[in-house]
Structure 1
Amino acid sequence: MPISLCGCGVDVSALPGVEILRALTWERGADSTLKSAAAEGDLTGARTALQAAFQPQSTGRESALGCGSRTLWSLAAFPDEVDLGKLLTKVGGSSGKARTGEKRATNKAPKTLAQRVDPLIRRLAEEDGGVSVFGLVASLDVLALTGARLRPEQLWKLWRHTLAQVVRQMRTMPGDDDHDPTVPADVQLIERDEVPFVAGVLFSDVAGAAELVKLGRKALARTLTENADTDGTPRAEMIERLSLWLAPLIRATLVARRFDVKLWTDDQEELLRSTVERAIPLCRPDGKATLSNGNALNPLPVLIAAAEMFDLPAVSPEGGYLQSVKRIAAGQPAKRVRSDGIMTMPSNQSDWARFALLRSDWSVQADSVAVAHHRQLPQIDVTAAGKPLLHGDWTLDLTIGDAIVELASEWSCVCWQSDPDADYIELQMCGPGKIRVERIIMLSRTDHFLLLADSVSGVPSDRIEYHATLPLADDILVRLDTPTREAQLTMKGLKARVFPLALTQDRVLSSPHEFSATADRLSLKQVAQGEGLFAPVLFDWHPNRTRADAQWRSLTVTEAGRVVTPDIAAGHRLKLGDLQLLVFRSLKDTGESRAVLGHHTRNETVVGRFDKTGNVDPILMVEAT
């Protein structure tokens, strides 16, 4: 029976080498030397022709010494492949040079590439039965990077095995409509998109290769455009496994460039470049992934490879930040990043992607908040001076009267503002009736503080019970102040202070509200009677204010000379050393101006500083809608 890459019912792995050669069918324009050797069953001639076929058209900056290392970008998606991952690490990290501080015996010559890669080829060629997707990616990666430099018998062994695996994978691959929700999107991307394209490129002479290239190219383009906004912002669903999703796209692009095969249109390649640029600031200074939801990911290798592939200049904001993270990972001090003012804002937001990044600057000491709001509970990831502070779900439980409010499946962004003073996002969830919950996030871009708040409004006048928790990052130690309701968060190199502004400062004053903490969460409970509730929490980590005296209190709000109750509008003041802040929120709009501590406003939200004369210098003003 003839053998092709598509629609072949033969178990290629069970056939002798000569029979495989004679049964192969070919693409029009296939290499004549390879076809002749195959027709004659000439293994020696076929091996020689294959080595010529694997000569790269463009090597770029790739190094064959790191063969298999690109497969490791996806290892976290295949937890059962730890042993193969160790072998790939050993082979991919090997070189003829001794490591720093390590001496090599003078009587031993460095191993050649063929010697180093031989254990890996033997391991890959041992896989029989079902297809190991991770093993198949490794086989394709080794063929792409080292095929022309292997010994003829090594190349034939790996080529034959990989051919059998590709044929089996194409025969058993489910159709486009057979979507398994239990399989992560990045694994499906490898199986349905990357493997067909790369296999078609590497087995370009075998019949069916052109069809696989076309199939893979179309699938890769669809995956990219369906999961990245026009500015490159990835969909929130992709963020927690972002490096695993990027890995197949970057590997396929590198193979396409190496063998001079067209993969992307100009617009698609620009979109992929933009996606890489958006992904770079989502790699923390410690090399870990933002919003990884517990996944132990290492995004740095794939981002470095992608930046080199796109020639991102080291002097660009993204390139400079990535180089700094790379240096930190290598135990070296980060390079000082020159600020370009607001020419290239480090923050971005996408309604379509349901994701936003609030960030003070491009340095590794930046303050940042990443927020994904595609689920019932928004996820946040906060770094303070480059140190992880909060990471995980921002929970919410709301009871109106005796009824528990059922949360919507996702939140929408109703306000986004980014300027040199602060980044601000407001998320909204509509509940039953006219009930609305707005989640407020404001990050100062100059003064190292963060405001997180919930605004509940539209409630039929009733008792409101509110409970929210904030997820602490690993290694954070919590201390609750005894005289006051302040909390202090500490870790190596960072101290942050937390103020629940709607609660009375002194613990000796009884309150129906509660601000508490466990080892991994901060918890805020508030109770109100009326039409709404405002629950602000302020974090401050300015190094000059870690020991400053703190005073905060709720303020009286008036409208037309009459006092307005806190369920209609709420104002709070915090004095922390030289920082004096006003936080105001209108929960019900009447169209009239309101006054709080001498400041008159028709705005829905105001955050400002009190100057030395007592006037408010606004940092943020949001108009009522």
Structure 2
Amino acid sequence: MSTTIPVPCDSQPASAVFSADGSDPRLVQFLEQWKSGKLWHKDAPRSLTKGWANLEEQQAWKRWAKYLSARSDGPLDEYQHGKSDPLDWGLPGGESPLAEVIAWRSSLDAMLKKATNGKPNAKLESLLAETLHDLQEGPSASPHALKAVVLAYRLPALASYLEPAMWWACTAVLLNLVAESANVSSEALEPEPVLVASLLAGELPLVLSVVLSELQPLRSLRDAARKSLSEVLIATTDGEGLIDATLLPAMPMLVASWTRSRAIGEELKKNCWSSEAETQYEWMVRQIIRLSRSSGMPVFTAEPLVAWPAGVLDTALELAGDDEDDTAAAARLAKVLPSIDGDYDEEDLPEPCVESEWSTLAVLATGWENSSCRVTVDYSRPQLGIEIETAGRVLMSGAWETKLSFAGKKLEPVEQWEQQCWHSDDECDFLDLVLEYTSGVRLERQLLLGKEDGFLLVHDVLHGPAQPAGEWQYCSNMPLFGGVTFAGEEETRDGRLLDVKGNARATVMPLALSEWRIEKRFGELSMEKHSLQLTQSARSTRLSCPLWFDLRSRRASRPRTWRQLTVAESLKVVPAEVAAGYRVQVGDAQWLSYRSLAPKANRTVLGQNTAAEMLLGRFYRTGEFAEILAVDPA
């Protein structure tokens, strides 16, 4: 397949293209215009363009190569924090195709370092010939797109070590990729197409317009690059810088590309994107900190990244962070960010939690510090993603699988998760979601993080057809992270979450099941295939399936117990398919959890009279009840 680029010549139609093959007459015409000096931008230095038309071809190339190699700084040299190269920011380790780009970039830079200035290098040309072939013949994929970006940054340095034909071939191929990127659509918010579009239609033309700004056809790419970068940044964020949850797998590389572009934009009169996009990027800086583990790795990351967050987040904070962003970074990431010290005032910290219906993403958090409890929820797909971190240790991360059947029929989701309620205050963060299934079944999933008490209540409620009752089979598999295991108690149905050293980091109680194993209850809490599995079954129209996580490891050794409570309405006990109440006790601390499954009514549970759909609170030693959250019926 021949490589084509737009003809940068006023005498040709804007849509005309030509091959990178030096024999193509249109490329010959392009190079003739360069030799004659007709392609210089008006701001090209006089020392470069003076007497250009009178130079012999070899003289012209030598002057051009010498001019490019004489540049003391590249566009990212100022932002190279530590040993990481900005072009490695956000890349995965291991043996993935993207990780191979690091090895390729390292080989390219090593050859440049060893090459003799002014002399073509055969090994370097061989590597680039293979690269150009891959870029032309290969798919429009993120590894190829990133190689193209790397090559663009290295074009000035390469001029002194390549034959003119090879250097112009590199430039032609890159320009053609920019032209072809107009056909790359990022309308579908999926990681790969959005990343490719951002690299090829945004960062690549921006880099070319800066590193070869003396050439009018390349400098003119800047406006299109600004437009593309603005569009992709605005299209992928919620208005407050929070990225769409479906893009979380590509978030590190996207942020890396946008931060490199923003660093370049710092030296441009019009920046690298629109003012609206700049606002999104400024907001994004804080969102990236929110979506970071205490280790600095992004949430839901299975393997460590090569260069993250050091470098990229240091640069983002320098370019677009404000005082609250710096304070949040100091509280959460001071140990992994070279530019941040650990001194901060707690009163200056912004809210640690966030929720966005648009992004289908929520972070429930007790604080920014490493000692805090944090729950990240990705509800962009039916198989909801969850990550739980406490005291700097990730306990769960990944896809939360839920299997349901009713009246002998296996159920499947028919819609996406819908957010019904989000609430955040000093006491708790609360997220209420609903998902529709086949056979008219509805799953309501509530997550409540107690900020002062350090617990997480995860409560699933299944709603079936009004009549008749059917047999429910419920199976929830929450993904344990790394070497975390669940150790069930011998005599009771609760257990502890243990780290790789066997230390208890949290305890878990299945509130709808009998505490003692000798008592029959239709369900079990266990570890299955590295997941925390809760199973329940019952014959009813509705089913309550709660799990209580005590996330304070210091309480793991304290006695704990729970009971299902009697709920009364108009002096009559109501069945569990109408309303459910639970008492939870750990040491001296006690809590009440109540949930109405049927339509609203005034009911009594454990001495508390309520018409709320959901009620949760703590009991003090005096017997006084303090409400943490009450949710009224819609």
How high is the TM-score relative to the length of structure 2? 0.83
Q: Does residue 320 of structure 1 match 2:336? A: no
Q: What is aligned with 2:139?
A: none
Deviation at 1:55, TM superposition (A): 6.8
Q: Does residue 133 of structure 1 match 2:145? A: yes
Q: Paired residue for 1:71, among 87, 99, 116? A: 87
Q: What is aligned with 1:97?
A: none
Q: What is aligned with 1:287?
A: 296
Equivalent pair of 2:366/2:451 in contact (CA under 8 Å)? yes
Equivalent pair of 1:232/1:274 in contact (CA under 8 Å)? yes
What amino acid maps onto 1:138 in structure 2? Answer: V
Q: Paired residue for 1:496, among 494, 502, 506? A: 506
Q: What is aligned with 1:596?
A: 605
Equivalent pair of 1:468/1:525 in contact (CA under 8 Å)? yes
Structure-2 separation of matches of 1:2 and 1:297 = 36
Alignment gaps of 5+ in structure 1? 95-109
Q: Does residue 206 of structure 1 match 2:215? A: yes
Q: Deviations over 1:219-275 (max 9, x none)?
A: 111111111111111111112321112121111121222455532233321210111
Equivalent pair of 1:483/1:507 in contact (CA under 8 Å)? yes
Q: Does residue 457 of structure 1 match 2:433? A: no
Deviation at 1:152, TM superposition (A): 6.9
Q: What is aligned with 1:29?
A: 42
Give the alignment of 1:406-445 within 5 angstroms. Answer: 406-432=412-438, 435-445=441-451
Deviation at 1:484, TM superposition (A): 0.3
Q: What is aligned with 1:487?
A: 495
Q: 1:351 to 1:3 in 2, by over 3 A?
A: closer
Q: 1:598 to 1:211 in 2, by over 3 A?
A: same
Structure-2 separation of matches of 1:400 and 1:623 = 28
Equivalent pair of 2:191/2:249 in contact (CA under 8 Å)? no
Q: Paired residue for 2:576, among 548, 551, 566? A: 566
Equivalent pair of 2:561/2:586 in contact (CA under 8 Å)? yes
Q: Does residue 168 of structure 1 match 2:180? A: no
Structure-2 separation of matches of 1:398 and 1:372 = 20
Q: Paired residue for 2:154, among 130, 142, 152? A: 142
Structure-1 separation of matches of 2:420 and 2:396 = 23
Equivalent pair of 1:457/1:588 in contact (CA under 8 Å)? no
Structure-2 separation of matches of 1:201 and 1:212 = 9
Q: Deviations over 1:372-403 (max 9, x none)?
A: 11101110011011210111112212212122
Please state whether the residue corresponding to 1:316 is helix, strand or coil: helix
Q: Paired residue for 2:587, among 577, 584, 597? A: 577
Structure-1 separation of matches of 2:511 and 2:580 = 11
Q: 1:370 to 1:179 in 2, by over 3 A?
A: closer
Q: Does residue 350 of structure 1 match 2:356? A: yes
Q: 1:34 to 1:221 in 2, by over 3 A?
A: same
Deviation at 1:124, TM superposition (A): 5.9
Deviation at 1:596, TM superposition (A): 0.4
Structure-2 separation of matches of 1:429 and 1:65 = 46
Equivalent pair of 1:449/1:542 in contact (CA under 8 Å)? yes
Q: Deviations over 1:176-221 (max 9, x none)?
A: 4598979442133212222122223333333433542222211111
Q: Deviations over 1:281-332 (max 9, x none)?
A: 21212232202366857531322221222255598333314542416xx8x9
Please state whether the residue corresponding to 2:232 is helix, strand or coil: helix
Structure-1 separation of matches of 2:616 and 2:447 = 11
Please state whether the residue corresponding to 2:92 is helix, strand or coil: helix
Equivalent pair of 1:348/1:358 in contact (CA under 8 Å)? yes
Identity of aligned residues (%): 23
Q: 1:119 to 1:245 in 2, by over 3 A?
A: farther
Q: In terms of mean alpha carbon deviation, does 454-463 or 472-481 score higher?
A: 454-463
Structure-2 separation of matches of 1:33 and 1:394 = 64
What amino acid maps onto 1:46 in structure 2? Answer: W
What amino acid maps onto 1:164 in structure 2? Answer: A
Deviation at 1:553, TM superposition (A): 0.9
Q: In terms of mean alpha carbon deviation, does 197-206 or 511-520 score higher?
A: 197-206
Q: What is aligned with 1:367?
A: 373
What amino acid maps onto 2:160 in structure 1? Answer: E
How high is the TM-score relative to the length of structure 1? 0.84
Q: Deviations over 1:353-376 (max 9, x none)?
A: 111111111112221011011101
Q: 1:338 to 1:368 in 2, by over 3 A?
A: same
Structure-1 separation of matches of 2:546 and 2:361 = 22
Deviation at 1:448, TM superposition (A): 2.0
What amino acid maps onto 2:65 in structure 1? Answer: R
Equivalent pair of 1:459/1:530 in contact (CA under 8 Å)? no
Structure-1 separation of matches of 2:159 and 2:440 = 73
Structure-2 separation of matches of 1:2 and 1:59 = 27
Structure-2 separation of matches of 1:175 and 1:222 = 15
Q: What is aligned with 2:79?
A: 62
Q: What is aligned with 2:630?
A: 621
Q: In terms of mean alpha carbon deviation, does 503-512 or 1-10 score higher?
A: 1-10
Equivalent pair of 1:583/1:606 in contact (CA under 8 Å)? yes
Structure-1 separation of matches of 2:621 and 2:20 = 83
Q: Does residue 46 of structure 1 match 2:44? A: no
Structure-1 separation of matches of 2:22 and 2:288 = 40
Structure-1 separation of matches of 2:147 and 2:591 = 58
Equivalent pair of 1:124/1:139 in contact (CA under 8 Å)? no
Structure-2 separation of matches of 1:624 and 1:200 = 58
Structure-2 separation of matches of 1:182 and 1:311 = 25
Q: Deviations over 1:538-597 (max 9, x none)?
A: 11132431111111110000011011110010001111102211111001124x311001
Please state whether the residue corresponding to 1:138 is helix, strand or coil: helix
Please state whether the residue corresponding to 1:245 is helix, strand or coil: helix
Q: In terms of mean alpha carbon deviation, does 287-296 or 615-624 score higher?
A: 287-296
Deviation at 1:449, TM superposition (A): 1.4
Q: 1:233 to 1:81 in 2, by over 3 A?
A: closer
Alignment gaps of 5+ in structure 2? 10-14, 136-143
Please state whether the residue corresponding to 1:317 is helix, strand or coil: helix
Q: What is aligned with 1:555?
A: 565
